[in-house]
């Protein structure tokens, strides 16, 4: 697997030889391929959200209960900072990979193996510094796999099928989040075994995709000589020249900040504000409701947007719905309010994940750099994991508590809905 090969740039600056790896996809992907894609999303999100929602918090309590919020924020923010670099970096490396196994599959495998090993090591971490180190390695590996599997969609899926495939990918993400919550509830109080379950789920999830990857290799002569300067400059996508890409990035960032603010302290919200007897089980219940709503709206909204040929109305409506969930949690900080907030958040986020993903694949600047460009887009998923814990800590500690936190989430989500109208190249 070598990302550093011979002549002819892939950055779109000059025409290159057409290859199966770079051609705009026209043939619909098979159910078997989509199943592999979905399962990779399940495993990656179980590895992310089992720890984020439950196990890191429980581990923080076991290390220093009075500082649990600060420890959780530190660990998740450092991991997210790694993902900011890892996702576009591995996306760009996968663009240039000339392995006979394809461009994306080698990184899916390598990333899953690294993240699995780091999760196992994290389970034995007895201090905050080790938690930070191994969570950063989890993020490094999982983001390598995620960058590659995300880029596989514009590589292989035609535009007329992307809403439906995006909906199924969103269902996979949600099943992964739900699996993480199940692990958290079943292993409540035993985060060590919980990390092992997340590691096993991740490693097993990538196997079906690897066996049925449909990942044409990139000929060495089209990869271009590796030049560090050109490689680094490629991560800058001029927002003036590619306005739709820039607005799509900004709206995704804002909506994800709003979503992260709503869920980042969910375990502590149930424990300290609502007074729910078993917070880990409460997270499971809320995540289950959220998951069901996400899956229903994702598999409905994605194909619906394919049929009508429009994306923006779905994205605007779903973004506003996500903001509404924050308002519900702010003004009804009781168990029924949490149930309603989870349902509304799931309704909005399911439709958003499916349709916004399809929209994003239609504003990528260059066919030869889909992995890098989707990696830059994925920064809009990762950066909120840095921003949201910091905002959440300020809101809860200094800004008036959880009501301020959830109202901030609602306001940020609404901004995301407003800015979607700036995208001109997609209806």
| Dist CA 91 CA 37 (whole Å) | 16
Cα dihedral sign for 289, 404, 422, 380?
A: negative
Contact of 163 with 302, CB cutoff 8 Å: yes
Residue 192 has which token pair?
Answer: 């060590």
Tokens of 59: 């581990």
Q: Within 10 Å of residue 395's Cβ, how many Cβ atoms? A: 21
Whether pLDDT at 9 is above 50 = no
Task: Give the pLDDT band of residue 13 (cuts 50, 70, 90).
Answer: very low
What pTM value is reported for the model?
0.76
Looking at residue 328, its pLDDT comes to: 93
What is the mean predicted confidence (pLDDT) over 391-407? Answer: 87
Q: How far apart are the first and last CA of the chain?
A: 39
Determine the pLDDT at residue 140. 95
What HEC string does 355-369 produce? Answer: HHHHHHHCCCCCHHH
What six digits make up the tokens of 403? 């009501």
Going by C-beta distance under 8 Å and a sequence separation of 6 or more, which residues neighbour residue 362? Answer: 159, 162, 311, 425, 426
- CATH of range 31-217+238-422; options 1.10.357.10, 1.10.10.10, 2.60.40.1180, 1.20.1250.20: 1.20.1250.20
Provide the pLDDT confidence category of residue 201 given band limits of 50, 70 and 90. Answer: very high
pLDDT over threshold 60, residue 222:
yes
Q: Where are the beta strands (DSSP E) in 149-252?
A: none
- pLDDT of the residue at 215: 81
pLDDT digits (tens, 9 = 90+) for 15-66: 444 467 677 777 888 999 999 999 999 999 999 888 987 889 888 888 888 8
Q: Are the C-beta atoms of residues 368 and 10 closer than 8 Å to each other?
A: yes
For residue 235, what is the DSSP state? T
C-alpha 147/C-alpha 104 separation (Å) is 9
What DSSP character marks residue 387?
A: H
């Amino acid at each position: 697997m070598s990302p550093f090969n011979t002549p002819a740039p892939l950055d779109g600056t000059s025409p290159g030889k057409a290859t199966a790896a770079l051609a705009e996809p026209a043939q619909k992907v098979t159910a078997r391929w989509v199943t592999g894609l979905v399962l990779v999303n399940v495993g990656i999100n179980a590895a992310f959200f089992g720890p984020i929602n439950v196990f890191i918090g429980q581990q923080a309590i076991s290390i220093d209960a009075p500082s649990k919020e600060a420890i959780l924020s530190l660990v998740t923010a450092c991991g997210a900072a790694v993902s900011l670099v890892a996702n576009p970096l591995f996306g760009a490396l996968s663009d240039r990979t000339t392995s006979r196994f394809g461009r994306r599959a080698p990184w899916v495998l390598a990333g899953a193996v690294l993240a699995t090993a780091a999760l196992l090591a994290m389970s034995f971490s007895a201090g905050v510094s080790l938690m930070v180190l191994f969570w950063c390695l989890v993020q490094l590996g999982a983001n390598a796999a995620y960058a590659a599997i995300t880029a596989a969609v514009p590589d292989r899926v035609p535009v007329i099928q992307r809403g439906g495939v995006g909906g199924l990918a969103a269902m996979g993400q949600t099943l992964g989040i739900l699996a993480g919550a199940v692990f958290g509830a079943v292993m409540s109080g035993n985060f060590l075994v919980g990390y092992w379950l997340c590691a096993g789920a991740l490693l097993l999830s990538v196997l079906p995709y690897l066996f049925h990857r449909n990942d044409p290799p990139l000929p060495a002569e089209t990869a271009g000589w590796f030049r560090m300067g050109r490689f680094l400059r490629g991560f800058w996508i001029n927002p003036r020249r590619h306005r739709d890409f820039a607005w799509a990035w900004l709206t995704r960032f804002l909506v994800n900040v709003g979503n992260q603010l709503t869920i980042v302290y969910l375990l502590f919200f149930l424990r300290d504000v609502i007074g729910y007897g078993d917070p880990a089980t409460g997270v499971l219940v809320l995540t289950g409701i959220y998951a069901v709503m996400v899956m229903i709206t994702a598999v409905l909204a994605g194909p619906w947007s394919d049929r009508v040929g429009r994306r923006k109305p779905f994205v605007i409506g779903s973004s506003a719905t996500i903001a509404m969930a924050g308002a519900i949690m702010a003004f009804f900080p009781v168990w029924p309010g949490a149930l309603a907030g989870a349902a509304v958040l799931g309704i909005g986020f399911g439709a958003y994940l499916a349709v916004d993903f399809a929209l994003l694949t239609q504003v990528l600047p260059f066919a030869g750099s889909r992995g890098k460009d989707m990696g830059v887009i994925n920064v809009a998923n990762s950066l909120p994991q840095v921003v949201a814990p910091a905002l959440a800590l300020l809101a809860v500690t200094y800004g008036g508590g959880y009501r301020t936190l959830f109202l901030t989430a609602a306001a940020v989500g609404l901004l995301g809905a407003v800015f979607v109208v700036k995208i001109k190249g997609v209806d």
